[in-house]
Amino acid sequence: MENRRPLIAGNWKMFKTCSEAVETTRRLLTLLEKNVDTDVMIAPPFTALAAVANIAKGSLISVGAQNLFWEKEGAYTGEISAPMIASAGCKYVIIGHSERRRYFGDTDQTVNRKIAAAIQNDLIPIFCVGESEKERESKETFSVLDKQVKKGLENFSSNDLKTLVIAYEPVWAIGTGKTATRIQAQEAHAFLRSKLVKCFGNKLAKSIRILYGGSVKPNNISELMAMPDVDGALVGGASLDAETFRKIIDFQT
């Protein structure tokens, strides 16, 4: 890991009321060491963002949103804009998560627009990519990742993407209990980094953090983090419990 600071991000998905999210955040703050060498982010539901950000302010924990809409404002009932997320105290935003693509119609093109909105509002985008089980079995993993990166990052300069984080989340490993082996994860991460080299040059490619997401647990985080191109994790279910999430943050390689 070329001086890339690890990032362990918790995606709470559609779990936790505002008071539950606040309680979990408080608990996590009491468990974390003061000198953690890892960046930590939690992404509660929209309803809890401001309350959680208020508690986490000035601490080791940053707050992220799970999605955004690309317009600044307008007649878009039910949507949340980048300025709204930023004003709630967010630093990060997850974009293009496989569940957004699968259930809510996110495409490579809309993901591209969402990344642009995040960057314009000084939010750090966590750009999610990954293949389905069928695509992996058909040996299409690299072509799927190639297309998602190409279309998702189209028309950006390397200067635009200085803060970008990529999350590789094989769709077949999300919420299934299946995890990519550390070799599978490393292969995909190395491919993504080589794609970044081609598109944006060596300097940016070496600085971008690539997270692994897909059934990350305390018992597999260390072997994943030992891989040279794995710079952190996007954690789902295991981030909902403060004690379990802390064990992931405290990984040893």
> What pLDDT is recorded for position 201?
96
pTM of the model: 0.97
Tokens of 117: 């909105």
Domain boundaries, the chain: 7-249
pLDDT per position as a tens digit, 21-56: 999 999 999 999 776 889 999 999 999 999 999 999
Give Cα 181 distance to the centre of its chain.
Answer: 19
Q: Is 189 considered catalytic here?
A: no
Q: What mean pLDDT, rounded, does the chain reach? A: 95
pLDDT per position as a tens digit, 59-118: 999 999 999 999 999 999 999 999 999 999 999 999 999 999 999 999 999 999 999 999
Candidate list 131, 135, 169, 189, residue with the active-site label: 169
Residues 6+ apart with CB under 8 A from 69: 76, 79, 80, 81, 114, 117
> What pLDDT is recorded for position 1?
52
Candidate list 97, 131, 135, 189, residue with the active-site label: 97
Q: Which fold has domain 7-249?
A: TIM Barrel (3.20.20)
